[in-house]
Structure 1
Amino acid sequence: MKKSLALLVLLLSVSFYGQKKIYYTEDFKELRSTEGATYYSTYEDTKEGTTRTTYFIDGTKRNYDEFSNLKKRIKDGNSITWFKNGNKEKELIYKKGKIDGVSNLYYENSQIKRSENYKNGEFIDGKCFNENGTEITFFPYYVQPEFPGGIKEFYKYVAKNFKSPNTSKGIMKIEFVVETDGTLKDIKMVQWINHGMSTEALRVLNNSPLWIPGKIDGKDARVKYGIPITIN
């Protein structure tokens, strides 16, 4: 009897979770209620894992994703995004968290914008089109931000300007956002040696020359970036 009751409670919990709505701001910060919400998501457990469907607050579908492990955010299956007008914006297929197969992006008028082939997360080839359907010169969807002259020049800049406050050695890992104007914002240490070293590393990055901003679909974009700094 106790086992049956426990199973019933578990099934009810799974069912409740699947029906529960999670509300989010425009930047996808979770909210406790509909106040200030731009989107909400619902979840459903399947044999393969979990599906998540996200809607605009008015109930219009925004995106659908299949996960083999939701907790670890491992996508496995279809991932579809829609424009507010209901037309598809993006179609991708994931295998064990990596894009695999043909992915398509569209204009709001439903005309295909780009079609790309991937294998185990690696880009193979692709085509780009204008809004009239005419093929144009291909350009990558995602371009990482870059320090002027490349990563070697960045480390030269660090070596020249970093003033060690003590004799400690090790590796620091730093994350930051490269803004569209090339400035660095939201700089934070994710691995440090000690307070003195961290303070000096942050000073050097705060005084960094402007970076070349990253691009998403051909347009300058805010891009999160991570980098290690080794102190020998």
Structure 2
Amino acid sequence: MKGLFISLLFLLVPKVCFSQSASIDRKVYLDSTWSETTSENYKYYRIVKDYYSEKDLYVINDYYKSGVLQMEGTSKTKDGNSKEGEFTFYYENGYKKAVTHYVKSSPNGKCAEWYENGNKKLEGEYIEDEKTFFGTLKVVQFWNSKNEQTVIDGNGDYEEVSEFFFASGKVKEGYKDGLWQGSDQKMGYTFSENYENQKLISGVSVDSDKVSRNYKVVEIRPVPKKGYEDFYKHVSKKFKIPNMPKGVGGKIFLKFIVDKEGQIINPEIIKGIGYGADEEALRVVSSYTNFAPGEIRGIKVRCTFSLPIAIQPME
């Protein structure tokens, strides 16, 4: 008799879709948000090595439109959304941008960063934290854009800078300490936070409508209100295994979004097994309506998850 097994691992993943390719490797055109687009409107493209082979790890290479390598690493799933192992990122001028180690799609372990001119920027380590999206960064050494080392052996002035985000403050023994202030232009908010003994004591964010929100955790993952066990039981109980030929089974990989209201929307099959099982997986997951939404600095956000469901073949 067939059985249903649900992997207990949820992975936060970027929203990326994939196009068809006739070659053994798969090429995907991506826009500036890393979503699938056409060959006429892409900014990046991705090559998945040996896409049509069954492997434990798939080699994933992303490229700028110019053909310069942007990222190289490995993924447990052939869509590239389950990072595992060391990833190296590059600027379009060819200089190395960052080296980060991933475990279960989250940064974990030693990391390093460089500026676009090749100067060293950061030496640090990501510490696993189940409550956050990306773990906690422990800063060991840091150089500012003027090539001045402002953090030495975990102590000094540190800046977090990306295309839309900026924050600055002090670190002590590698962790944020005292007053930190910053802004996120993409999400449209400013914030002020106080840290003590390696922990966030309090924070307040102010959005573009001047609405302020107090928080004590920077990032909160979406979670089932009654716990993950309730969600797993729901899928196991409601999943009606269709009639399939003897010996047919395998894993169904799907992804979905938990929106700002905690609803599951846009479920999509990444890899299916056919025979009606894929459609049933979409139906069952969509029918669960008891998630608490994710938050960043007190602001509710949409998050994308992937979920494998394993169908045991009939003997």
TM-score, normalization: structure 1? 0.52
Match of 2:308 in 1: 228
Task: Kindly name which structure, 1 or 2, has the bigger radius of gyration based on alpha carbons.
Answer: 1
After superposition, what is the alpha-carbon deviation per residue over 1:177-204, rounded to whole angstroms, capped at 9, x for unaligned? 1100122223223343335211110111
Match of 2:234 in 1: 157
Match of 1:216 in 2: 296
Match of 2:220 in 1: 143
Match of 1:89 in 2: 167
Aligned-partner Cα distance in 1 for 2:238–2:201: 43
Aligned-partner Cα distance in 2 for 1:227–1:150: 16
Residue 219 of structure 1 aligns with an amino acid whose one-letter code is I
Structure 1 vs Structure 2 CA RMSD: 4.6
Specify whether residues 128 and 193 from structure 1 end up closer, same or farther in structure 2 by C-alpha distance, changes over 3 A only: same
CA drift of 1:165 comes to 0.9
Specify whether residues 195 and 43 from structure 1 end up closer, same or farther in structure 2 by C-alpha distance, changes over 3 A only: farther
Structure showing the higher strand proportion among its residues: 2
CA drift of 1:46 comes to 5.6
Match of 2:175 in 1: 102
Structure number with greater CO (CA < 8 Å, separation at least 6) is: 2
**What are the residue-to-residue correspondences of 1:43-122 with 2, within 5 Å?**
43=93, 45=95, 51=114, 80-81=160-161, 88-89=166-167, 101-103=174-176, 105-108=180-183, 112-115=192-195
CA contact (8 A) 1:169 1:193 kept: yes
Residue 209 of structure 1 aligns with an amino acid whose one-letter code is T
CA drift of 1:166 comes to 2.5
Specify whether residues 129 and 48 from structure 1 end up closer, same or farther in structure 2 by C-alpha distance, changes over 3 A only: closer
Specify whether residues 125 and 202 from structure 1 end up closer, same or farther in structure 2 by C-alpha distance, changes over 3 A only: same
Query: Gapped runs of 5+ residues in structure 2?
Result: 1-30, 36-41, 44-64, 66-90, 100-112, 124-136, 143-158, 184-188, 206-213
- Is 1:202 aligned with 2:282? yes
Query: Gapped runs of 5+ residues in structure 1?
Result: 1-23, 33-40, 54-64, 68-74, 94-99, 118-123, 132-136
Specify whether residues 188 and 125 from structure 1 end up closer, same or farther in structure 2 by C-alpha distance, changes over 3 A only: same
CA contact (8 A) 2:193 2:203 kept: yes
Match of 1:128 in 2: 202
Match of 1:4 in 2: none
CA contact (8 A) 2:242 2:275 kept: no
Specify whether residues 187 and 46 from structure 1 end up closer, same or farther in structure 2 by C-alpha distance, changes over 3 A only: closer
* 3-state SS of 1:186 partner: strand
After superposition, what is the alpha-carbon deviation per residue over 1:123-166, rounded to whole angstroms, capped at 9, x for unaligned? x63332448xxxxx862211111223111111221122211112
Aligned-partner Cα distance in 2 for 1:211–1:110: 27
Specify whether residues 42 and 179 from structure 1 end up closer, same or farther in structure 2 by C-alpha distance, changes over 3 A only: same
CA contact (8 A) 2:193 2:200 kept: no
**What are the residue-to-residue correspondences of 1:24-43 with 2, within 5 Å?**
25=32, 27=33, 31=43, 43=93
Match of 2:267 in 1: 187
Of residues 234, 238, 255 in structure 2, which corresponds to 1:175? 255
Residue 101 of structure 1 aligns with an amino acid whose one-letter code is G
Residue 204 of structure 1 aligns with an amino acid whose one-letter code is V
CA drift of 1:212 comes to 1.3
Structure showing the higher helix proportion among its residues: 1
